[in-house]
Structure 1
Amino acid sequence: MDSSTNSPLITVERDGHVLLIGLNRPEKRNAADFRMITELATAYGELERDPELRAGFVFAHGEHFTAGLDLADVGPRIGPDGLDLVPGGGMNPWQVGGTQLSKPVVMAVQGTCLTLGIELILASDITVAADSTTFGQIEVSRGILPFGGATIRLPRAVGWGNAMRWILTGDQFDAAEAHRIGLVQEVVPHGTQYERGLELAQRVASQAPLAVQAALASARLAVREGDAAAEAGLQPALVKLAASEDSRIGMHAFLSRRPAEFVGR
């Protein structure tokens, strides 16, 4: 399933309202060559466009999440303006092109998780790590800088000192440290990360999708533009959601003490 074959380097499968997106180059420790990146961007575009999809779940086939960028394949493609990674209809999985995914993404990682793997975590919303996972933001050891968002998001996510400790040294760290600094939200025994991650993705997808997307958008607005911008949007968003069919379904479920089955309207 290497890039020399026609087999997909990203598997895409639907599980109800969740899109399962799998890194599928296990014989290369899921190192991301150019084709894998473009296939991943295409999958993210599908998640964004399809109204039936409410959440994404990103995982990896094999023992490792990703060994990072396949520099031998991708390096020569760096031109005067950088890298053009996103095909038509796709979306940058690292969301550093000015466009944000409107739906939440849950991730499950194991084994090796280097460079762009950490940056995928930072661009997602909830991450479960196997206790086997080893992380590394090692770009400075290769003569480049992290260009998938780590310099922007890691200091915000884990604090300046923690971020610089790992970005500037290129040292690797374990799952316990990733959990301590807040990079991942749960650490589970190796081999159970997929089931736990999918469970969380399905839990998110069972909630009112318009409300989930509005909450996500509000939180991201606060991060990108500050508290005042997010505060100004809270009441208008509440009014819009209160008029939705899902709001009525949620209220009926509360009163009848039955699970809600939301429709996304």
Structure 2
Amino acid sequence: MQIENPSPPSEGCIHCEVRGHVLLIGINRPAKRNGWTPAMFRQLAEAYTRLDDAPALRVGLLHAFGEHFTAGLDLPVIAEFMRTGRKVIPPGLVEPHDFGLPGYRRRSKPMVAAVKGICFTVGIELMLGADVVVAADNCRFAQMEVQRCIMPTGGATLRMAERAGLGNAMLHLLTSDEFDAAEAYRCHFVQKVVPAGQELDAAFRIAERIAAQAPQAVVATRLNVLKAIELGQAAAVADFIPVQQRLANSEDAAEGLRSFVEKRPAHFTGR
């Protein structure tokens, strides 16, 4: 698919484009291998907030311009924030890493990520914070914070063990080794591996497929899965009856029933 690629400012930017019900969120600083700056983090949070707040948007698709997803943090620019503990994202927005940072909103709508080339540090953490990840077969991954006396604080310490088990998580977190797309797939960090150049199209097809489902049911299902992981099975089960009752009384539930009886695809409105 072709996406407009505007020239970014020197500090980079996040470029958004709407395709149907999908919000394409593009990391745009290719001259610096999409190294992250405070401006980029702020704009990414604004894009995630836009996704959650716009009724017509149902799915986000995180991708990158240029040859690489990201080489990680622009460390000389970000280091002062680490030393002082200041936040790079203003409070009140949706925090893109999605692990419940105090003062920030959590995303409710699904996010698909398409990664390629170099995907280091914060790149891995952003894709682990997404719901479905498509990786190009030329990906090079590394969670290399310990090389610079930094602890990963974007979710890797939470999600690597959850996805891959303790030993695999420690292998990649503590050695800062570089690994490929096949290893990322083995560790369940990514869900699909496709030939380089096809990752965005493959990710968009998944996003469109999700967007075709009943939006309220998609959000409820996603949140229930996360509740089970984070708070336990009993907390998730407690939501079954009240959430199902709310969904069953929606206009989309009536449309789903009609489409079943009439043997046709459903046309959902999100109401």
Fold similarity call, TM over 0.5: yes
Match of 1:187 in 2: 193
Instruction: Report what 2:174 is aligned to.
Output: 168
Kept in 2, the 8 Å contact 1:2–1:27? The answer is no
Q: TM-score scaled by structure 2?
A: 0.93
- 1:147-189 C-alpha deviation (Å, 9 max, x unpaired): 1011111110111111110000000100001011110000000
Q: In structure 2, what is the equivalent of residue 254 of structure 1?
A: 260
Aligned equivalent of 2:98, options 92, 95, 99: 95
Unaligned segments of structure 2, at least 5 residues: 1-6
CA distance in 2, matches of 1:4, 1:188: 31
| Contact 1:109–1:128 (CA under 8 A) maintained in structure 2 | yes
Task: Answer whether contact 1:114 1:135 (CA < 8 A) is retained.
Answer: yes
Kindly report structure 1 stretches of 4+ aligned residues shifted beyond 6 Å.
none
Q: Quote the Cα distance in structure 1 between the aligned partners of 2:153 and 2:187.
A: 21
Q: Give 1:91's aligned amino acid.
A: V
- Residues 64-106 of structure 1: CA deviation (Å, up to 9, x unaligned): 00000111111112354x2312236632111231532100000
Asked if structure 2 preserves the Cα contact closer than 8 Å seen for 1:2 and 1:28, the reply is: no
What TM-score, normalized to structure 1? 0.95
- Percent identical pairs in the alignment equals 47
Name the structure 1 match of 2:25. 21
Alignment of 1:215-254 (within 5 A): 215-254=221-260
Counterpart position of 1:114: 120
Q: CA 1:89–1:51 in 2, change beyond 3 Å: closer, same or farther?
A: farther
SS in 1 for 2:24: strand
Q: Is the 8 A contact 2:38 2:89 kept in 1?
A: no
SS of residue in 1 equivalent to 2:238: helix
Deviation at 1:61, TM superposition (A): 0.4
Which residue does 1:199 correspond to in 2?
A: 205
Q: Does 1:31 align with 2:35?
A: yes
Count of aligned pairs between the two proteins: 262
Q: Secondary structure at the match of 2:93?
A: coil
Q: Does 1:47 align with 2:51?
A: yes
Listed as ranges, the gaps of 5+ residues in structure 1 are none
The aligned residue for residue 71 of structure 1 is 75
- RMSD, matched Cα: 1.4
**Distance in 2 between the 1:51 and 1:231 partners?**
27
